[in-house]
Amino acid sequence: MNYLQYFRLRAEPFGHAPAQEAYYASAAHTRVVDRLLWAVEGMRGLAVVSGHVGYGKTSIARRLMSLLAPKDY
């Protein structure tokens, strides 16, 4: 049994780019996204996210882009 079957996943979550469907909104990630939204919506000049490899910086950036994307109503 592979991990897809074991965890009952429908798609591969570990590719070259993080899958947004597998995004886990931890408390720390939620705080970072909230602060980035505050910076963007307030038109602040600069916002920096730093961390070690694997901490979720790309996932946070993709989450932010999805939140800022135009909505189809």
Over the stretch 4-62, which tens digit does the pLDDT of each residue have?
Answer: 889 888 877 777 777 777 788 899 999 999 999 999 999 998 999 999 998 889 889 99
Cβ(62)–Cβ(21) below 8 Å: no
So what's the pLDDT on residue 12? Answer: 76
CA separation for the pair 29, 27 (Å, rounded): 6
Cβ(15)–Cβ(62) below 8 Å: no
